[in-house]
Amino acid sequence: MSGLERRQHGGFTLVEVMISIGIMTVGSLGILSMHSAVSGANKSAQEMNTALAITERWIARIERDTLSWSRQGLNTSELTGTDYLSPLATTVDKTDWLKPLPADTEESYGFDYFGGDTRDAGQIKYCTNLRLYWLRQGSSARVDVRTFWYREGHMAGNATHPQWVSGSDFRGAACDAATADGWNLGSAPNVNVIFASTVVTWLRRD
């Protein structure tokens, strides 16, 4: 057998093996990177869907609360019978952002990782605030709803944030409007947030 024939039937050289390993490594890193990006996108989408469901739930609560609005009138005291519209009874214009305080203990301003109502500070991941405007004083109003959560999402450990207002762990969120403002919801937000609005009107029931 000639030298040429021996080279043709021989194994791979060390250089060829190293090149192959290098190509496989680069390809594997690309796949892992893509997997990480897809996982992150799926997590963000899941959080967004949960926050959207929470916001829609609060819109429904506001509209249900309108049934307790028994009489129209400028700055009417009849609004004190409502759970969530009552702050309008003390103003002729609008309120600031506020944390709603449901009388029903089954409802809450805070929600856990799965979107369930909770007032346990250790479980809160999402927070909801309201802002109320008179459109026609005494008879119709607009209610803005915002649901916000920490941008990095749920973390099993200590999910810290440098602009946290009253502690270092997001899962102890107070859900106060000052918390969201302190986290900077402006031009460079440090939290994710969903906004929605609804218009409610006093209905004559005679």
Sequence-ordered list of residues with C-beta below 8 angstroms from that of 131, at least 6 positions apart, any chain = 94, 95, 96, 97, 98, 143, 144, 146
Residue 19 maps to a domain: yes
Please state the rounded mean pLDDT for residues 63-89: 83
Residue 71 maps to a domain: yes
Residue 192 maps to a domain: yes
Residue 153 has pLDDT above 50, yes or no: no
Number of domains forming the structure of the chain: 1
Query: Which pLDDT score is estimated for 180?
Result: 72
Residue 206 maps to a domain: no
What is the rounded CA–CA span in Å between residue 135 and residue 131?
13
Residue 91 maps to a domain: yes
- As a whole number, the mean pLDDT across the chain is 76
Please state the rounded mean pLDDT for residues 86-111: 89
Tens digit of pLDDT for each residue in 171-201? Answer: 556 788 877 776 656 554 567 889 999 999 8
Residue 164 maps to a domain: yes
Give the domain extent around 136.
Answer: 3-201
Sequence-ordered list of residues with C-beta below 8 angstroms from that of 178, at least 6 positions apart, any chain = 165
Residue 123 maps to a domain: yes
Confidence band for 61, pLDDT divided at 50, 70 and 90? very high
